[in-house]
Amino acid sequence: MLDIVSDLSTYAEWLDLVTSVEPAPSESDESGPAWFVTLRAKVGPFARSKRLRMVRTESTDTGARFDRREVDRRDHSAWTMASEVTEGPAGSVVAMELSYDGKLFSGPLEAILDAASHDAGQKLSDYAAS
C-alpha cells in the first residue's frame, strides 16, 4: 500500500478528486519527481477544475506528502496531499489528509476534500488488490 500512496501517478485511479496526473519537469532544487495534477470538484450545480504542479516533499517508511510547487514565481495558495500507512493484523490502514489554504470555496471545499479522502478507502483497497 505504501508504494501506491507514495506514487502520485496512481491517485487518479483511486481518488475521485484527482482526474488526471502527468509527469512534469523537476526543478534543480527538488529532490524528487513532479507532476501536473488536475483536481475537479463539484459544489451543487457548479464544477471547478484546477491544474496544479505537485512535488513529493516527504517520503518516509510509513507515508508520503505532496505539496503544490509552481514554477511561475507567482504566489499561489497551498495544496497538500499527505498519506500515512499503518500495518495492522487486519491489513493496511491509510490515513489521508487533503488541505487547501486558499479562500475560494473554502467552506464547501473542506467538505468536498473530507468526502474525497473518506470515499477513497474502498477504491484504494480495490486498486491495491488489482
Q: Compute φ and ψ for 17, nearest 5 degrees.
A: -65, -30
What CATH number is attached to the domain comprising 114?
3.30.530.20
Contact 120, 128 (CB under 8 A): no
Domain that holds residue 114: 2-129
Task: Give the model's pLDDT for residue 68.
Answer: 95
Q: Residue 122: what are its φ and ψ, rounded to 5°?
A: -70, -40
CB 30 within 8 A of CB 24: no
Kindly report, residue by residue over 4-63, the tens digit of the pLDDT.
999 999 999 999 889 999 999 988 887 778 999 998 877 778 778 889 999 999 999 999
pLDDT one-digit tens code per residue, 68-96: 999 998 999 899 999 999 988 888 888 88
CB 53 within 8 A of CB 79: no
Domain count, the chain: 1
